[in-house]
Structure 1
Amino acid sequence: MDTTALPSWNEGPARQALLDFVQRVTTVDGPDFVQPADRIATFDNDGTLWCEQPLQVQFFFAHHRLEQLAAQDPSLKQRQPFKAFLERDMAAIHDAGMKGLFEVAAATHAGVTEDEFEAIARDWLSSAKHPKLGRLFTALAYRPQVELLGYLQRQGFKNFIVSGGGIDLIRAFSEEVYGIPRDQVVGSSVKTRFEIKDGRGDLVKLAEIDTFDDREVKPHNIGLHIGRRPILAFGNSDGDLAMLRYTRSGPGPRLALLLHHDDAEREFAYDREFRLSPLAEALDHAQEYGIDVVSMKRDWRQVFAA
């Protein structure tokens, strides 16, 4: 066992469970050995790998894009749901939920090619900062999780992001921030149309959701896009519960982890009251479902990189 691994994790049950699990599944002659091809680990993104408060990063990205579009078409300021998002009407945004947030984000990029979207996203991410913490959003990846991703990769795991957030926005930074290639990202997506213009073929985004990757849709998309049941999964909300239980339901050694945001001093403290992505059932029934709860306050020595 590599006792020097995960230096940003405090000594305790959570870190030990991770180290013990990895040792068990990678010990060649051991009873719990898992072939490298089956060492699949899935991670939610918002609130699991990086900060999602006071709203998910997707909101700030969509809001920026909406402001640009509203400057060209002022009528958007009076049309719902755009009016609520432009005015940051929190009650209306919470009522719309995560799916409503993604629908607005999808509408703001309709007619844009995938390559154009990538350029827009990268340009925004290069300068966009968190309104309270004052850091670039890309600097708000959790250091303990980045260490865990690297550790798992060195131990022969293949890491995937399985997120309710937009797949293309995450692909714009996943490799640089997490070391996860874009083809190992599963997320919410919009429908596209193939077009040829001036001899060039492109995929053009439509203002219509293809899949909203949350709750029971997560296991569905894992089966569709990954084709193997994970042996390790990490989430932070009820939206991840189906993925965690799907992981735990397989044969052989399994580990499902749930990050509890209970550190108001270093980040934010919240769970069931966060209406866009609440944590209630998963937290209340974690022991019953065989899920290990990770306390940000207790289990993490450091939250963000210095």
Structure 2
Amino acid sequence: MKKTLLLSAILLGTVGVAHAADPLSAWNDTAAKQAIEEWVQNATNKDRSTFIPPAKRYVVFDNDGTLWPEAPLTFQLQFAIDEVKRLAPQHPEWKSDPIVSAALNDDVKTIAAAGEKGIIRLLELTHSDITTEEFAQRVGNWVDSHRDSRFGCRYDQMGYQPMRQLLDYLRDNGFKTWIVSGGGIDFMRVIAEKMYGIPPEQVIGSFSIGEFSLTDNGTEIRKTMKGAFLDDAAAKPVAIHLFMGQRPVAAFGNSDGDLAMMQYTASNPDYKTFGLLVHHTDAEREYAYDSHPPASGKLIEGLKVAQEKGWTVVDMKQAWKTVFDPALCKK
């Protein structure tokens, strides 16, 4: 009997080790997972013509909708709305502003109808005329004190577990991971390292030109709205060239706003590249959309090009065992 129990323990222990050894354990064994593993194996095997030298293994990830949700609103827009609510009592002059009124009443339809002009107004009120240090502190305070209304989780707990594993898997195989997103660079840099293991210098996003000055206590950079650069669509390859200085070998996105970045990557003349689109198909565990997203993340042209180019399309409902890490977030 003791021998049987010992043998069972050994066998169970072996199975447990085998399961733990799977770096993509949050992925189901679908064609998407197989494509990722095959490309990485080919890219890291020196004996194959598909080998990519470590110095060239730069890979880029969109953030909103690719590494964390962007429905029903992007997290940064939710931050801006919450900041307007927090700051409004200190600014009675805001009362007559319709965008402020919409934010105070959670009137997302009015904010959406205002388009880019409305978003810029919210950013003016919450992202400018403030030092970079104070802005980072405000973002940190918001992350610590606010939770997603549907899932009840802190926003920094809502990174997609399969994509976080993918980031680790790539880094373990010698790849350098970058974020290239339409989100604000200063906003993402506050939480990217903690959430994804991506340091601030490997985060590329939308930005404006700050103003440097000497102060009684030293120096400061103050955020402004001058020279705003929206890192989306055709601007993404431009930003990649500006910040990275070389063409990536893999790109991961979820929307038509990522298409130019993926096309730029796929056109790398020196290496066999990889492209992946996250398709939001899971209304129960996250959200389901493509052509008609709740706010942003439209995916129409990207699906067509993915089929033409042979890029991997991840059906979230089918490909992922989990969406959020159950140890952090309940769904």
Name the residue aligned to 1:238: 256
Aligned-pair identity (%): 42
Give the counterpart letter for 1:8 in structure 2: A
> Which of 272, 275, 283 pairs up with 2:291?
272
Give unpaired runs (5+ residues) of structure 1. Answer: none
Q: Does 1:71 align with 2:89?
A: yes
Which string of whole-angstrom CA distances, capped at 9 and with x for unpartnered residues, describes residues 53-87 of structure 1? Answer: 11000111101211122111133232143333333
The total of aligned residue pairs comes to 305
**CA apart distance, 1:27:** 0.4
C-alpha spacing 1:250/1:214, structure 2 compared with 1 (3 Å):
same
**CA apart distance, 1:209:** 5.0
CA contact (8 A) 1:102 1:165 kept: no
Name the residue aligned to 1:151: 169
Name the residue aligned to 2:191: 173
Q: Does 1:220 align with 2:235?
A: no
1-side partners of 2:123 and 2:104: how far apart? 12
CA contact (8 A) 1:44 1:234 kept: yes
2-side partners of 1:88 and 1:195: how far apart? 37
C-alpha spacing 1:289/1:14, structure 2 compared with 1 (3 Å):
same
TM-score for the superposition, normalised by structure 1: 0.94
1-side partners of 2:164 and 2:87: how far apart? 35
Name the residue aligned to 1:42: 60
2-side partners of 1:290 and 1:222: how far apart? 23
SS across alignment from 2:128: coil
CA contact (8 A) 1:231 1:253 kept: yes
CA contact (8 A) 2:65 2:297 kept: no
Give the counterpart letter for 1:216 in structure 2: A
> Which of 262, 272, 295 pairs up with 2:315?
295
> Which of 294, 298, 302 pairs up with 1:282?
302
TM-score for the superposition, normalised by structure 2: 0.88
**CA apart distance, 1:100:** 4.7
**CA apart distance, 1:155:** 0.4
CA contact (8 A) 1:159 1:184 kept: yes
C-alpha RMSD of the superposition:
1.8
SS across alignment from 2:145: coil
2-side partners of 1:89 and 1:245: how far apart? 36
Name the residue aligned to 1:182: 200
**CA apart distance, 1:179:** 0.4
2-side partners of 1:99 and 1:293: how far apart? 33
Name the residue aligned to 1:8: 26
**CA apart distance, 1:260:** 0.4
Q: Does 1:94 align with 2:112?
A: yes
> Which of 272, 275, 299 pairs up with 1:253?
272
**CA apart distance, 1:99:** 7.5
1-side partners of 2:115 and 2:32: how far apart? 31
Give the counterpart letter for 1:290 in structure 2: G
Name the residue aligned to 1:83: 101
Name the residue aligned to 1:118: 136
C-alpha spacing 1:103/1:278, structure 2 compared with 1 (3 Å):
farther
Give unpaired runs (5+ residues) of structure 2. Answer: 1-18, 327-331
Give the counterpart letter for 2:324 in structure 1: F
CA contact (8 A) 1:106 1:190 kept: no
C-alpha spacing 1:257/1:97, structure 2 compared with 1 (3 Å):
farther
Hey, which of these two has a bigger chunk of strand by percent? 1
2-side partners of 1:74 and 1:282: how far apart? 45
Moved more, 61-70 or 171-180: 61-70
SS across alignment from 1:211: coil
C-alpha spacing 1:301/1:59, structure 2 compared with 1 (3 Å):
same
Q: Which structure is larger by alpha-carbon Rg, 1 or 2?
A: 2
CA contact (8 A) 1:49 1:142 kept: yes
2-side partners of 1:106 and 1:277: how far apart? 23
